[in-house]
């Protein structure tokens, strides 16, 4: 047995002295060449398990029980030095937050090549060409050039593929892949997963795959572990879990999976969130917001939007966006899908005024060019859910303050109610009230994402640019949140610009869609049409690459 | 040990100065250390102790002319013989103001109208009026070599120092690099650095008694503690001006010793006696307290000089009873000044200041040994007398500027020149008279006819006995009137390693010639 | 989310004291600061002598070792200095001056420096250029000359000393905050704040400041001791506080001359007080900073 | 980037003019060179002659304009006190200062950063407490006190190092340096250590606090997960991210030490330029002070410019246009 986790319990100590039991009595066994999936609710403790195997739990975490055996050796009590011999070499780790996982001040090349040079005998140009090879294997275009870039110059998906390349560089015995494809479009995702699968099959590598995408699970995993609030609720062979889930939570999970085949009014949910007075108050607050406006008028109009990033040392720039134009109607959900790195986030950053587009671009909100309005007024019309939720939270403010600071400043909520509102909104996005006083770094990936969502919603804006808002969420939570958004949309005319790789979600959510590739729009139209009768070859390719979770298969 | 290694080369003497000599050029700088350094290399006609040096004797030819006989057989370190021409040349150079700047005795030798080389070894100085203190002033005329400056033929003196040879005067840099530093003294420069560090080699052709040390290294270590530590660490053989405090360490350690000699400097407090009031002195009724002699006497009587010299100087200072060290040759004999707080209070009350008054006492922070401590002691005494004292200490440059601008009614000052007892009172208390060289630093507004007459007579008196009498008269008057308050006379101190014998002079110069091993 | 267990009972302690729980050293520091501050405030009541009243001093009491009897029969606990100042009293009074000078100068220097540094980051462009050139100018201007100028123009006084010191401090802080701020400014949370419609002031003080101020705080205790020593140096050179009203630093530098001869108490006593004072400030400041560091919050 | 540098240098030209004006006026209000230069018994005529010879009888603006005109011709003036060109005076002493500051900087960084990182990484080790104690005490002991203690211990008691002065020098690229001979180094050790103590303390504390923040960032976790050697993890990933405050302080201290390390230079009788400045201020030697300040300002401008460029190198997100 390569990896055996035996009744592992892990506790985090919180700032106020309380202790949070993140993992209780979790057990897992894994042989070489096999892939184990861990699925479960966001915040259930999946990443905590992964980190524990590598000895990367923070200072405030404590393994309160159980063993972790790697080839029979208990590594739970290893010292930092002993772990040093394991990390990278025997266990590779694909970090959950790709955009913060890369050192911002070191070039991609350096971060990749140092790993290669540490674990293989390749040096110098050999290491470099192996790096290029790895990047190519991870579907990164222009790999040579990317090596000289810094993380902030790359898209989320590129970062994720680089993290992937780094993790597999040494061909370790075990790979822990913590949501390795959340930021990838489906074609790339397919390739990356293919690589993983090949590694397992050919190199006899064992993989722990943490994910919430049941499609991925069904395609990849030999066995599945279902986790809820730190506890294992069910484990079994993939087919068995998918087709015949025994536990209630697993059943809910399966039921909540959105389908790309058909569009429904609502995502299926089975009350993932507890209905509490606080949550109700929060929802009331959101509903009480924007005055319902007529649906259908053009709200956001963009034309001729180009963005060229200046190259290093005066070299030729890189054209991230090339004459992009589209219009978003009030009250609709406007989807942006497409290749990773095709400029989706850059569109958002341009709308939000965070990057200056090339001259000639027109971005108009309600008929007025953006930039002439004052920031405060704009903030109530336009909000954003960042692709990297963590970096967008002020690390020195607790979650509650992060959420309500802006609206308090804008006078949307009196100071004395701010704390309560923050807690209410946390409940709205499915987090406990107590989370309000935790600092951003002490949250799981999905939890951070939800804090970002709560912050954006709190403004009760007219339009939200959602950059992969639910990529780190399991389907049950995702369904709750997307339903909430839809509901706000229906009742208030909330407009959403929705960037996602999950075509099923896009189909469920969006009214119209554009498909992007290499900075250009390759196809646009009503979501139904684009996703069912794609005209562009690239769109077709996307659709065919989708990992399908076949409910029909489950039925049969 | 490191100590043994340090002294292995017994022929090198390492000395630490308290202030960096400014230059190897002996003319423009009047500070003690520049003087000390150049004394190794250059000599004067008259020695600091009034004995003949390069002159073997002198006599007044008339009221306006004095003739010096020069020593024969003396050579400069360049090999050139020393002659009267060199004296004329040196006088020219002394009178010449480089960039308008007076040299050490340019002003003091202003009354000299002509300098004539009568023959190779006789030279005559002529003056506008009788100028008896010229021999005192010539103690500062270091003799340079005319030949070394490349001057051939006779030199005709003029009072601007132009002498027709201006272009041949060596620059300061020429001295500092050593090329112009040619004297008749017992040492020659090996090197001089702008930081004030110098190395000297013995001049084996010296005409006089050869000094013991082959080589002398002079370093400047301005910080007191560091200087003494350098001695203790074996970096130096002799350090000048150890603090009274540091002598304690020296006394305890058998490896070290110190030498002391009563010095020339008198420390005193100047009082502005102006009847219209003095800067920084305020009385409730708007009157001028310091104009009243009883107030001045009260201020003087309140001070316990004995306590100051014993407590703050550990005995290395002498209680002053007049404005010049009483132990100097020719100093008038004066009774001790009284110390009596009660009597002082009574005097003050008598003068109408029973409730005291307020004064600002100005003291330079970085000038006099223990100056700040003494200032605080004075403040204590006067506070007890009932006078409100604001003690103001500031750097010398600021002090000097404010003093020159007349912004100080009460200030501490020190004066020490090897020029006899009259120097201080003539400068600080006499009415200003540039022709007679009187009262250049009179900030006391002192104006007493008895004193004034005596000073004016003294200024032109050539008979030494009569001169001393006049000084005694003036001094007695000044001490009675107290336009200033004498405090104490500084002593000169040197600390050195044991095994050396050191006989210092009152002017406090630190020179290798005074150090012998025993 | 999983169950949260309470480890300790509901906290009933003053929120101000929360950071100090479980940190004996920091508590000691806090106590130290209180003691020193109290001692400084109460100096006139507890000091055996008023060292600023020159009439009470007598050089006949000079240089007494600790526990000596003075002329008037009283005992000097910690000895006296050369002019007969009781060291204990002098230290108590000196602390007042030193603390006042150091704390006020450092506070002014810190506030002005940090604010200008933040403004430079926020505004950029010519504002940044002007502020940073002003920094260049002030760091290159010698403090002694500045103090001398103030002395010559305005006369001596504690306020002038404070001003001279503060001018030296602001520049360093401004540069530090700007340097760190430049990096922070590019992070997404600032972008989020902008999108949130927050005004520049809020972004400056609630987003940039807490994330950029850490190095300034790290250097703060050093700045305090530095100011105390700088004040001593100025005083020693005659451009600081009057020598009749010595500060802690001036006492130390005066006492320096007596170290070699074994009269240690004159400089060691005030020196120790200075060290202890800075040590206290330091452990407390360190603890507060650690406490404010989100990554170290849990006691782990 | 080139634009950026040029613009900065342009701004600095204005700065130099302002600085010279400030110093000119400053020296004027502080003291009168004539009063300081003239001897005790100088007559009024002496003073007037002196003032005229140095142009000090002119109104201040005229003096200043003359000064500017001379500067343009490359003449920085002649010292009132030493009667020598001020640039000669300054450059004669500069090497002594530069080498001792250089050594102090090296000591500061070589000890400070590793100690700081160690403390940041090992929060609860006794060694960390010790470092914290020592660094706190290190900087709360006044510089002049420390200097004397160093002399007492190493020169007077142990007698292993000389107490004062500068040792023998060797010629290096035309500079007289004692850095390259053993005896000279012995003389440098105490003054350099005296300067370094504060630096070490500062760098330690900055490195410690930086480490405590950076160490818990996701990218550090991931870097650890990659299994790279601890040396690289710290030397590259950690260090690069904590260097900005360290560079800032190093730059400021570098300038300050070169320009103003008067206490150390005084106590150890180190013949550097800091003392020259202090002496010149106290002797009212305006030409030296003004020229000195112009050079120092220029130096600070360049050092800070270098620091700004280093920021951009350290953090690619910082870009100057
Ligand atoms: N600051 C920058 N400097 C240089 N290039 C940049 C910069 N920011 C983004 N890019 C490049 O612009 C392209 C578009 O990036 P963008 O983040 O918009 O992609 P995306 O569509 O959001 O991708 P993903 O789905 O992976 O997040 C990428 O190739 C990226 O490398
Ligand atoms: N450093 C920390 N301090 C305190 N609590 C933490 C810390 N890290 C994680 N937690 C908490 O532990 C729980 C498990 O976190 P973990 O990151 O393992 O969740 P996850 O299953 O990976 O969730 P997600 O799918 O959202 O990434 C969460 O409730 C989270 O808030
Ligand atoms: Mg996770
Ligand atoms: Mg993106």
Over residues D187-197, the pLDDT tens digits come to 999 999 999 99
Distance from CA of C143 to the nearest CA of D (A): 9
CB B178 within 8 A of CB B192: yes
Distance of CA A263 to the CA centre of its chain: 23
> Does the beta-carbon distance from B230 to D32 stay under 8 Å?
no
Task: Write out the two tokens for C155.
Answer: 């006369």
Task: Please indicate whether residue A136 or residue B421 has the higher confidence score (pLDDT).
Answer: A136
CA distance D102 to C86: 43
pLDDT digits (tens, 9 = 90+) for B100-117: 778 888 888 888 999 999
b/e burial code for range B140-160 (CB count within 10 A of at least 16 → b): bbbbbbbbbbebeeebebebe
CA distance C68 to C82: 14
Residue of A9, A12, A388 best suited for mutating to test ligand 2, as the one with most atoms within 8 Å of CB: A12
Least confident of B141-155, B373-387, D106-120, D237-251: B141-155
User: CA-based Rg of chain A, rounded to a whole angstrom?
Assistant: 23
Residue C191 lies in a domain: yes
- Give yes or no for residue C9 having a pLDDT over 50: no
Nearest to A220 by CA among A228, A235, A208, A236: A208
Nearest to B14 by CA among B231, B253, B259: B231
CATH value at residue C138: 1.10.3720.10
- What's the pLDDT at A127? 94
- Give yes or no for residue A331 having a pLDDT over 50: yes
Shortest-distance Cα residue to atom 16 of ligand 2: A45
Task: Write out the two tokens for A310.
Answer: 């200046």
- Quickly list DSSP for A271-296: --S---HHHHHHHHHHHTSSPP--TT
Interface test with B, best of C55, C70, C152 (most B CBs within 10 A): C55
Residue C192 lies in a domain: yes
- What's the pLDDT at A295? 63
In this complex, is the C-beta atom of B260 within 8 Å of any C-beta atom belonging to chain C? no
Ligand 2 atom nearest to A44, measured from its CA? 21
CB B360 within 8 A of CB B390: yes
pLDDT digits (tens, 9 = 90+) for C137-154: 999 998 888 888 888 888
What angle is formed at CA A310 by the lines to CA A308 and CA A313, rounded to 5 degrees?
160
Task: Write out the two tokens for A93.
Answer: 């780790």
pLDDT digits (tens, 9 = 90+) for C182-191: 999 989 999 9
CA distance C103 to A258: 63
- What's the pLDDT at C24? 86
- Give yes or no for residue B1 having a pLDDT over 60: no
Q: Which residue of D lies nearest to B399 if distances are taken between CA atoms?
A: D31
How many structural domains does chain C have?
A: 1
CA distance D227 to A167: 10
Residue C4 lies in a domain: no
> Does the beta-carbon distance from D26 to C146 stay under 8 Å?
yes
- What's the pLDDT at C299? 45
Distance from CA of B442 to the nearest CA of D (A): 10
> Does the beta-carbon distance from C199 to A409 stay under 8 Å?
yes
Q: Which 180-219 residues of chain D touch chain A by CB within 8 A?
A: 216-219
> Does the beta-carbon distance from C296 to D212 stay under 8 Å?
yes
- What's the pLDDT at C297? 63
What was the ipTM of the complex prediction?
Answer: 0.89
pLDDT digits (tens, 9 = 90+) for D294-304: 999 999 999 99
pLDDT band at A23 (very low <50, low <70, confident <90, very high): very high
- Quickly list DSSP for A236-252: EEHHHHHHS--SHHHHH
CA distance D104 to D188: 9
Max Cα distance, chain D (Å):
84
Query: What are the C-alpha distances in Å from B183 to residues B203, B220, D51?
Result: 10, 23, 32
Q: Cβ(A351) to ligand 1 under 6 A? A: no
Ligand 2 atom nearest to A96, measured from its CA? 27
Q: Which residue of A lies nearest to C298 if distances are taken between CA atoms?
A: A15
Around ion ligand 3, residues with a beta carbon closer than 5 Å are: A 47, 96, 444-445
Q: Which residue of B lies nearest to D52 if distances are taken between CA atoms?
A: B100
**In this structure, are strands D170-172 and D175-177 parallel, antiparallel, or unpaired?**
antiparallel
Distance from CA of C17 to the nearest CA of A (A): 13
Ligand 2 atom nearest to A45, measured from its CA? 18
Q: Which residues of A touch D217 (CB under 8 A)?
A: 100
Least confident of A64-73, A220-229, B3-12, D93-102: B3-12
Residue C280 lies in a domain: yes
- pLDDT > 90: percent of chain A: 53
Give the bridge partners for B56, in sequence order: none
3-class SS of residue A390? coil
- pLDDT > 70: percent of chain B: 98
Least confident of A347-351, B130-134, B137-141, B352-356: B130-134
- What's the pLDDT at D145? 85
- What's the pLDDT at B8? 41
In this complex, is the C-beta atom of A405 within 8 Å of any C-beta atom belonging to chain C? yes
Distance from CA of A473 to the nearest CA of D (A): 19
- What's the pLDDT at A507? 87
- What's the pLDDT at A372? 63
> Does the beta-carbon distance from D241 to A105 stay under 8 Å?
yes
- pLDDT > 70: percent of chain C: 94
Q: Which residues of D touch C290 (CB under 8 A)?
A: 212
Least confident of A460-464, B432-436, C267-271, D256-260: B432-436
CB A26 within 8 A of CB A8: yes
Residue C20 lies in a domain: no
Domain of residue C46 covers 40-53+76-299
Residue of A346, A392, A500 best suited for mutating to test ligand 1, as the one with most atoms within 8 Å of CB: A346
Ligand with the closest atom to the CA of A448: 2
- Give yes or no for residue C93 having a pLDDT over 90: yes
Ligand 1 atom nearest to A519, measured from its CA? 14
Backbone angles phi, psi at B266, to 5 degrees: -105, 130
Residue C63 lies in a domain: no
pLDDT digits (tens, 9 = 90+) for B210-226: 999 999 999 988 888 88
When pLDDT is averaged across residues B298-325 and rounded to a whole number, the result is 94
Average pLDDT, chain C: 87
Interface test with D, best of C114, C142, C146, C180 (most D CBs within 10 A): C142
CA distance A274 to A272: 7
Average pLDDT, chain D: 90
CA distance B379 to B360: 10
Q: What is the DSSP letter of B196?
A: S
- What's the pLDDT at C3? 46
Residue C93 lies in a domain: yes
When pLDDT is averaged across residues B84-88 and rounded to a whole number, the result is 95
Residue C64 lies in a domain: no
Size of interface C-D (CB pairs under 8 A): 173
Nearest to A513 by CA among A237, A311, A165, A260: A260
What angle is formed at CA B164 by the lines to CA B160 and CA B168, rounded to 5 degrees?
100
- What's the pLDDT at C228? 87
When pLDDT is averaged across residues B455-476 and rounded to a whole number, the result is 89
> Does the beta-carbon distance from B395 to C148 stay under 8 Å?
yes
Task: Please indicate whether residue A480 or residue C127 has the higher confidence score (pLDDT).
Answer: C127
CB B383 within 8 A of CB B358: no
Interface test with C, best of A232, A377, A392 (most C CBs within 10 A): A392
């Amino acid at each position: 047995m390569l990896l055996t986790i035996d009744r592992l319990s892990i506790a985090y100590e919180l700032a106020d002295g309380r202790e949070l039991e993140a993992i209780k009595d979790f057990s897992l066994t894994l042989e070489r060449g096999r892939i184990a999936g861990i699925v479960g609710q966001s915040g259930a403790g999946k990443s905590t398990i992964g980190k524990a195997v590598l000895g990367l739990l923070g200072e405030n975490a404590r393994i309160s029980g159980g063993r972790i055996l790697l080839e029979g050796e208990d590594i739970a009590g290893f010292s930092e030095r002993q772990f040093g011999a394991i990390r990278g070499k025997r266990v590779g780790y694909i970090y959950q937050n790709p955009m913060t996982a890369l050192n911002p001040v070191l070039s991609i090349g350096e971060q990749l090549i140092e790993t290669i040079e540490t674990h293989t005998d390749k040096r110098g140009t050999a290491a470099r060409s192996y790096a290029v090879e790895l990047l190519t294997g991870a579907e990164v275009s222009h790999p040579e050039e990317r090596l000289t870039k810094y993380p902030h110059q790359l898209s989320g998906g590129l970062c994720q593929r680089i993290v992937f390349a780094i993790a597999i560089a040494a061909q370790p015995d075990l790979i822990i892949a913590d949501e390795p494809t959340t930021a990838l479009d489906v074609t790339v995702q397919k390739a990356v997963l293919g690589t993983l699968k090949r590694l397992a099959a050919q190199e006899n590598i064992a993989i722990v795959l943490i994910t919430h995408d049941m499609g991925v699970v069904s395609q990849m995993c030999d066995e599945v572990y279902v986790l809820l609030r730190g506890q294992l609720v069910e484990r079994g062979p993939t087919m068995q879990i998918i087709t015949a889930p025994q536990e209630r939570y697993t059943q809910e999970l399966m039921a909540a999976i959105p389908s790309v085949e058909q569009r429904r009014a609502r995502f299926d949910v089975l009350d993932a969130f507890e209905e509490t007075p606080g949550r109700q108050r929060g929802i009331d607050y959101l509903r009480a917001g924007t005055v319902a406006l007529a649906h259908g008028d053009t709200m956001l109009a963009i034309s001729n939007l180009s963005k060229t990033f200046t190259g290093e040392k005066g070299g030729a720039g890189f054209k991230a966006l090339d004459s992009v134009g589209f219009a978003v109607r009030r009250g609709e959900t406007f989807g942006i899908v497409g290749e990773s790195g095709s400029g989706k986030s850059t569109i958002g950053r341009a709308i939000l005024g965070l990057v200056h587009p090339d001259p000639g671009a027109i971005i108009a909100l309600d008929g007025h060019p953006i930039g002439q309005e004052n920031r405060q007024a704009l903030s109530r019309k336009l909000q954003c859910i960042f692709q990297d939720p963590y970096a967008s939270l002020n690390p020195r403010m607790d979650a509650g303050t992060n959420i309500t600071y802006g609206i308090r400043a804008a006078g949307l909520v009196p100071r004395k109610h701010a704390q309560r509102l923050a807690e209410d909104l946390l409940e709205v996005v499915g987090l406990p009230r107590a989370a309000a006083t935790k600092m951003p770094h002490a949250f799981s990936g999905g939890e951070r994402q939800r804090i970002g969502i709560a912050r954006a919603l709190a403004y009760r804006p007219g339009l939200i640019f959602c950059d992969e808002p639910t990529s780190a969420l399991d389907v049950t939570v995702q369904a709750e949140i997307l339903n909430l958004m839809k509901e706000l949309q229906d009742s208030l005319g909330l407009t959403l610009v929705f960037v996602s790789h999950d075509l099923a979600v896009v189909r469920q959510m969006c009214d119209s869609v554009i498909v992007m590739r290499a900075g250009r729009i390759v196809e646009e139209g009503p979501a139904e049409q684009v996703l069912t009768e794609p005209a562009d070859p690239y769109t077709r390719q996307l659709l065919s690459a989708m990992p399908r979770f076949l409910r029909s298969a489950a039925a049969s | 040990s490191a100590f043994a290694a340090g002294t292995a080369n017994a022929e090198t003497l390492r000395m630490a100065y308290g202030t960096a000599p400014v230059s190897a050029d002996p003319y423009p700088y009047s500070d003690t250390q520049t003087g000390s350094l150049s004394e190794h290399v250059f000599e004067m006609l008259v020695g600091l102790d009034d004995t003949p040096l390069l002159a073997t004797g002198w006599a007044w030819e008339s009221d306006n002319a004095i003739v010096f006989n020069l020593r024969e057989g003396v050579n400069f370190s360049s090999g050139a013989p020393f002659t009267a021409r060199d004296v004329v040349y040196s006088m020219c150079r002394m009178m010449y103001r480089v960039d308008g700047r007076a040299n050490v005795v340019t002003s003091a030798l202003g009354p000299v109208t002509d300098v004539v080389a009568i023959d190779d070894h006789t030279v005559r100085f002529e003056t506008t009026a009788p100028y008896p203190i010229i021999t005192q002033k010539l103690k500062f005329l270091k003799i340079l070599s005319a030949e070394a400056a490349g001057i051939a033929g006779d030199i005709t003196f003029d009072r601007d120092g132009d002498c027709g040879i201006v272009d041949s005067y060596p620059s300061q840099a020429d001295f500092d690099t050593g090329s112009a530093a040619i004297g008749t003294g017992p040492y020659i420069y090996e090197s001089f650095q702008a930081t004030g560090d110098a190395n000297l080699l013995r001049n084996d052709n010296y005409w006089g008694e050869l000094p013991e040390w082959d080589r002398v290294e002079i370093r400047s270590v301005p910080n007191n503690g560091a200087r003494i530590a350098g001695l203790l660490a074996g970096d130096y053989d002799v350090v000048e001006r150890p603090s009274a405090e540091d002598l304690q360490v020296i006394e305890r350690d058998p490896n070290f010793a110190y030498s002391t000699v009563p010095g020339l400097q008198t420390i005193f407090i100047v009082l502005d006696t102006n009847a219209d009031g003095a800067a920084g002195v305020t009385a409730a009724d708007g009157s001028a307290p310091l104009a009243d002699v009883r107030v001045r006497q009260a201020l003087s009587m309140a001070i316990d000089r004995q306590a100051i010299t014993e407590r703050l100087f550990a005995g290395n200072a002498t209680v002053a009873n007049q404005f010049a060290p009483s132990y100097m040759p020719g100093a008038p004999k004066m009774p001790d000044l009284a110390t009596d707080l009660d009597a002082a209070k009574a005097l003050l009350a008598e003068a109408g200041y029973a409730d005291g008054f307020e004064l600002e006492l100005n003291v330079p922070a970085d000038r006099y040994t223990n100056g700040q401590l003494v200032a605080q002691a004075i403040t204590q005494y006067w506070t007890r007398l009932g006078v409100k004292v604001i003690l103001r200490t500031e750097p010398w440059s600021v002090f000097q500027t404010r003093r020159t601008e007349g912004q100080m009614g009460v200030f501490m000052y020190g004066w020490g020149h090897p020029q006899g007892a009259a120097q201080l009172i003539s400068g600080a208390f006499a009415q200003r008279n540039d022709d007679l060289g009187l009262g250049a630093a009179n900030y006391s507004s002192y104006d007493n006819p008895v004193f004034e007459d005596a000073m004016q007579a003294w200024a032109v008196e050539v008979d030494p006995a009569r001169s001393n009498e006049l000084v005694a008269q003036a001094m007695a008057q000044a001490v009675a009137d107290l336009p200033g308050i004498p405090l104490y006379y500084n002593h000169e101190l040197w600390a050195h390693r044991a095994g050396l014998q050191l006989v210092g002079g009152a002017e406090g110069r630190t020179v290798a010639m005074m150090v012998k091993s025993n | 989310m999983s169950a949260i267990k309470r480890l300790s009972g509901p906290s009933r302690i003053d929120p101000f004291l929360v950071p100090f729980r479980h940190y004996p050293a920091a508590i000691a520091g806090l106590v130290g600061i209180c003691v020193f501050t109290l001692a400084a405030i109460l100096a006139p009541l507890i000091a055996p002598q008023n060292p600023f009243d020159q009439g009470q001093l007598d050089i006949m009491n000079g240089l007494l070792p600790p526990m000596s009897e003075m002329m008037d029969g009283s005992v000097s606990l910690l000895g006296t200095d050369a002019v007969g100042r009781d060291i204990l009293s002098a230290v108590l009074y000196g602390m007042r001056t030193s603390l006042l000078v150091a704390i006020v100068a450092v506070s002014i220097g810190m506030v002005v420096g940090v604010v200008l540094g933040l403004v430079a980051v926020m505004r950029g462009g010519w504002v940044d250029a002007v502020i940073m050139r002003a920094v260049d100018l002030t760091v290159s201007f010698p403090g002694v000359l500045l103090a001398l100028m103030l002395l010559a123009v305005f006369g001596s006084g504690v306020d002038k000393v404070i001003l001279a010191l503060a001018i030296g401090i602001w520049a360093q802080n401004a540069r530090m905050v700007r340097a760190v701020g430049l990096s922070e400014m590019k992070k997404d949370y600032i972008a989020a704040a902008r999108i949130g419609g927050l005004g520049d002031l809020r972004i400056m003080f609630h987003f940039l400041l807490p994330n950029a101020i850490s190095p300034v705080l790290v250097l703060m205790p050093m700045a305090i001791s530095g100011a105390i020593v700088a004040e001593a140096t100025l005083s020693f050179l005659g451009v600081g506080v009057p020598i009749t009203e010595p500060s802690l630093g001036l006492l130390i530098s005066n006492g320096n001359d007596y170290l070699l001869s074994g009269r240690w108490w004159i400089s060691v006593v005030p020196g120790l007080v200075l060290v202890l004072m800075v040590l206290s400030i330091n452990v407390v400041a360190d603890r507060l900073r650690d406490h404010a560091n989100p990554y170290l919050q849990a006691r782990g | 980037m080139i634009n950026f540098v040029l613009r900065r240098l342009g701004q600095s030209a204005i700065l130099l003019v302002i600085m010279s004006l400030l110093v000119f006026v400053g020296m004027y209000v502080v003291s009168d060179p004539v009063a300081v230069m003239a001897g005790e018994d100088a007559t009024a005529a002496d003073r007037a002659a002196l003032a005229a010879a140095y142009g000090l009888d002119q109104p201040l603006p005229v003096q200043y304009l003359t000064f500017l005109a001379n500067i343009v011709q490359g003449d920085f003036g002649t010292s009132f006190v030493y009667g020598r060109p001020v640039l000669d005076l300054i450059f004669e002493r500069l090497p002594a200062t530069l080498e001792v500051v250089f050594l102090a900087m090296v000591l500061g960084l070589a000890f400070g950063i590793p100690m700081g990182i160690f403390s940041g990484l090992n929060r609860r080790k006794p060694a960390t407490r010790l470092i914290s104690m020592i660094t706190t005490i290190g900087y709360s002991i006044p510089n002049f006190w420390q200097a004397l203690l160093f002399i007492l211990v190493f020169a007077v008691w142990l007698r292993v190092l000389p107490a004062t002065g500068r040792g023998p020098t060797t010629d290096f690229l035309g500079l007289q340096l004692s850095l390259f001979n053993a005896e000279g180094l012995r003389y440098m050790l105490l003054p350099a250590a005296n300067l370094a103590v504060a630096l070490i303390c500062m760098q330690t504390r900055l490195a410690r606090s930086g480490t405590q923040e950076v160490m818990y960032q996701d990218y550090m976790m991931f870097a650890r997960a990659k299994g790279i050697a601890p040396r690289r993890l710290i030397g590259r990933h950690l260090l690069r991210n904590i260097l900005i405050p360290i560079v800032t302080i190093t730059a400021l201290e570098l300038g300050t030490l070169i320009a103003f390390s008067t206490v150390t230079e005084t106590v150890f009788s180190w013949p550097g330029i800091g003392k020259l400045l202090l002496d010149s201020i106290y002797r009212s030697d305006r030409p030296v002070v003004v020229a000195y300040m112009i050079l120092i300002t220029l130096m600070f401008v360049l050092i800070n410019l270098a620091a700004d460029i280093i920021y951009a190198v350290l953090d690619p997100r910082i870009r100057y246009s």
